[in-house]
Chains A and B, each alone.
Chain A
Amino acid sequence: MSKRVLLGLLLACGLTAPALAQEPKTGGAINVVIQPEPPGLMMAMVQNGPVQMVAGNIFEGLLRYSPKLEPQPELAESWSVSEDAKTYTFKLRKGVTWHDGKPFTAADVLFSVEMLKQTHARARNNLAQVDKVEAPDDTTVVFTLKQPFGPFLGIFEVGSMPMVPKHLYEGTDWKTNPYNNAPVGTGPFMFKEWQKGSFIRLVKNPNYYEKGKPYLDDIYWQIIPDAAARSVAYETGKVDVLPGGSVENFDVPRLSKLKDTCVTGAGWEFFSPLAWLWLNNRQGPLADKRVRQAIMYAIDREFAKDVIWNGLGKVATGPSASTIKYYTDDVPKYPYDPAKAKALLKEAGYKGEKIRLLPLAYGETWQRWGEAVKQNLQDVGMNIETIATDVAGGNQKIGDWDYDIAFTYLYQYGDPALGVGRNYVSSAIAKGQVFNNVEGYSNPEIDKLFADGAVATPDSKRKEIYEKAQKILVEDVPVAWMLELQFPTIMRCKVKNLITTGIGVNDGFKDAWLDK
């Protein structure tokens, strides 16, 4: 059905658009849906998805990342790593100014690092290995690490480490700084106005350091609270772009078939959201590895991909998404095989004990998915009871370890040391959290592999370590990996080069242009 059309569109737009070396045209305004309305735009302080999406145009990081997650220059034009992999030297771009005209210098970088350590939880973790940061001159910044940290070059993207203007924030109370409401960055677009509940308007930065860019004059972020209304807004032409996740999945095929509409799943490589089922390893039947393996065999993940996610995404093979560094598919495989699942359950001596399933309360798609998984598991003879709950209630149950099976999806941030290991090492077991090692899996060998992998050099050594870890994990099934999710971005075909990096729509629209 619509799958083929979708695939065709993906091929037509996602893949060939960058290849067609068309001359970009300047001018025009673009209307983009933002869902939900961001709580603020000061990216150093709030980092919700919608904040990153809008503020990614205003602020910039030192680096950005290609779809293959190779570092690319942004505010830093070049960088070098010392022999012992402990000193990273960044050369900053010259002639960069803040939106208020003041020059951007190494002092701003130093200030940003200090501020983010206090206001940005993920940045604080990422910077834990940093011993000191220095600025020998105005355009050079040197990070010295306590020990080699493999993923270090992966923490400089705008959402993870946005650059903040020192001259506006130093010595002020950050929380009440008036510039939080009218943020000043170095990005291609400047904040213009925000009509709460209606739209946010950004305008072109005429003094942007890359000559000729950005091409667009205005970006209007339209705030439309209802999913059906967002679909209609696209159909009627009120908006030109529906970023991933802004309409329900089943609307995607219908909207994709509209005239002059392009769909792409690209732009999520850096985040690589991976969906899995937490399996409570601590108690009951799920403490037995064979029962957990049976769950993997019992669930028809191809069906979930084709029907529930409309063919978007990819069946996961293990703890790493295929876009993450050191991913390997040379691991034990779990195809859909109910007979094998039944045999494993029998072997494990499962006798119909009740197993509680906690779906994710993120809307229709997740609810349907919960129903399908429940049916799959019942088909092989498991006694499943669905527990209905809202997001907060579900988080509490997961945090209290009061569940047997629970849906989740988490970002992976490009490197196994940043986004993968945290879900399997025993040091990350702590009550009350909904991320990290919620399943209670504890394996000294895995602990050691992830500890070594983060600091090992060179890359080939890391690769070896992480491939080994993946094999062990997939054999043990601490959690049941479901899908690498793709949130398709739907837009009019006249919008070109909207997504050029692995960070997608969160990376600013400096390359985007309108073919009128």
Chain B
Amino acid sequence: MLRSPSGVIGLIILLLAIALAVFGPMLFPNSPWRMVQRPFLPPFTLSTVPLGTDALGRDVFAGMIFGARVSLLVGLVSTLVALVVGLPIGAMAGYFGGKVDDALMRFTEFFQTIPSFALAIVLVAILQPSIYSIVASIALVSWPPVARLVRGEVLSLRTREYVQAAVVTGQSNTWIILREILPNTLSPVIVLASLMVATAILLESSLSFLGLGDPNLISWGYMVGAGRTVIRQAWWITVFPGVAILISVLGLNLIGEGLNDALNPRLSREGR
């Protein structure tokens, strides 16, 4: 992983974002909702509000820091939930095959046929916007690719000799899936997961942009959405959080690429 330069850049970006999210609020304890200065103060004019203020005089920089928490947290947690749902479904479908496979895959396809963003909007709207409903709906629309990927991997692994050997020695299905098969499917899943975090951040931002974010938490998408209408008067309200979304998603994509290079033996042997 460290041999791929893009992966290193991605990792640095991610670590910076995490550091900002974890330690930022300690260094800048100002609430991002507090009206601290006059509205529409341009950036770089006052050192106390380095990135200017928004339409209500709230600190854009504080919003960036607190927004990082929400964006990263939603990205990570919803990806974890999606993995928790997708992994067992994919593994069972691939391992047992037959009717189980059919049933589980039709179920998965049911979710895949609905445009994921539209489904996420509907879910959040029905459940009332809150951080929990957002994480749940993002997880719910992003697990099908995990299930399909794991199923494919499991399908090819279950015919291997060491799996057959485990079956012959009478080990239980659960044991075989957990000990023999799943560990070997992990590398593509990890790559997929890193990209899913990026997608989840984008989804959360889009939901917040549309006004479906948690009204009690500031997030980058919310800032872009709230500032969008005044973009002609005050570009900085939208541009800074927009750039933050761009950079963090880019960083996660670079990490995904780096991981792919590092974990895929065929690619690394070709020596890039």
Q: List 20 A-B contacts (CB under 8 A).
A: A227-B229, A250-B55, A250-B229, A250-B230, A254-B233, A307-B35, A307-B55, A368-B55, A370-B215, A371-B33, A372-B35, A372-B56, A374-B33, A375-B34, A375-B35, A378-B31, A378-B33, A386-B215, A387-B215, A389-B128
Q: A322 an interface residue at 8 Å Cβ cutoff?
A: no
Q: B129 an interface residue at 8 Å Cβ cutoff?
A: yes
Please name the 8 residue pairs, one residue from A and one from B, whose CB atoms are nearest each other, closest first: A386-B215, A388-B129, A388-B215, A375-B33, A250-B230, A307-B39, A386-B216, A364-B229
CB of A364 within 8 A of CB of B226, answer: yes
Interface centre among A250, A374, A387 (most CB of B within 10 A): A250
Q: A228 an interface residue at 8 Å Cβ cutoff?
A: yes
CB of B56 within 8 A of CB of A307, answer: yes
Q: Which residue of B lies closest to A371 (CB)?
A: B33
Q: B272 an interface residue at 8 Å Cβ cutoff?
A: no
Q: Which residue of A lies closest to B54 (CB)?
A: A368
Least Cβ–Cβ distance between B45 and chain A, in angstroms: 14
Least Cβ–Cβ distance between A403 and chain B, in angstroms: 13
Interface centre among B55, B130, B212 (most CB of A within 10 A): B55
Q: B204 an interface residue at 8 Å Cβ cutoff?
A: no
A22 to B147, CA, bound (A): 77
A46 to B87, CA, bound (A): 56
Q: A367 an interface residue at 8 Å Cβ cutoff?
A: yes
Q: B214 an interface residue at 8 Å Cβ cutoff?
A: yes
Q: B57 an interface residue at 8 Å Cβ cutoff?
A: yes
CB of A367 within 8 A of CB of B56, answer: no
Q: B97 an interface residue at 8 Å Cβ cutoff?
A: no
Least Cβ–Cβ distance between B137 and chain A, in angstroms: 14
CB of B35 within 8 A of CB of A385, answer: no
Q: A308 an interface residue at 8 Å Cβ cutoff?
A: yes
Least Cβ–Cβ distance between A234 and chain B, in angstroms: 14
Q: B160 an interface residue at 8 Å Cβ cutoff?
A: no
Give the chain A neighbours of B269 by CB distance below 8 A: none
A279 to B233, CA, bound (A): 36
Q: B99 an interface residue at 8 Å Cβ cutoff?
A: no
Q: B266 an interface residue at 8 Å Cβ cutoff?
A: no
Q: Which residue of B lies closest to A304 (CB)?
A: B56
Question: In residues 36-79 of chain B, which contact A (Cβ within 8 Å)?
Answer: 39-40, 55-57
Least Cβ–Cβ distance between B20 and chain A, in angstroms: 23
Q: A303 an interface residue at 8 Å Cβ cutoff?
A: yes
CB of A250 within 8 A of CB of B233, answer: yes
Interface string of A301-316 (1 = CB under 8 A from B): 0010001100000000
What's the interface size class on A, roughly?
20 to 34
Q: Which residue of A lies closest to B133 (CB)?
A: A388
A388 to B211, CA, bound (A): 9
A375 to B129, CA, bound (A): 19
Least Cβ–Cβ distance between B39 and chain A, in angstroms: 5
A368 to B35, CA, bound (A): 11
Q: B3 an interface residue at 8 Å Cβ cutoff?
A: no
A227 to B232, CA, bound (A): 14
Least Cβ–Cβ distance between A87 and chain B, in angstroms: 54
CB of A368 within 8 A of CB of B216, answer: no
CB of A368 within 8 A of CB of B128, answer: no
Least Cβ–Cβ distance between B121 and chain A, in angstroms: 12
Q: A452 an interface residue at 8 Å Cβ cutoff?
A: no
Give the chain A neighbours of B212 by CB distance below 8 A: 388
Q: A248 an interface residue at 8 Å Cβ cutoff?
A: yes
A110 to B130, CA, bound (A): 55
Give the chain A neighbours of B33 by CB distance below 8 A: 371, 374-375, 378
Give the chain A neighbours of B128 by CB distance below 8 A: 387-389, 393
Give the chain B neighbours of A374 by CB distance below 8 A: 33
Question: In residues 295-344 of chain A, which contact B (Cβ within 8 Å)?
Answer: 303, 307-308
Give the chain A neighbours of B55 by CB distance below 8 A: 250, 307, 368
Interface string of B203-214 (1 = CB under 8 A from A): 000000001111
Q: Which residue of B lies closest to A393 (CB)?
A: B128
Give the chain A neighbours of B125 by CB distance below 8 A: 390
Interface string of B10-50 (1 = CB under 8 A from A): 00000000000000000000010111000110000000000
Give the chain B neighbours of A364 by CB distance below 8 A: 226, 229
CB of B226 within 8 A of CB of A368, answer: yes
A43 to B112, CA, bound (A): 49
CB of A303 within 8 A of CB of B35, answer: yes
Least Cβ–Cβ distance between A183 and chain B, in angstroms: 36
Least Cβ–Cβ distance between A229 and chain B, in angstroms: 13
A370 to B226, CA, bound (A): 13
Give the chain A neighbours of B35 by CB distance below 8 A: 303, 307, 372, 375
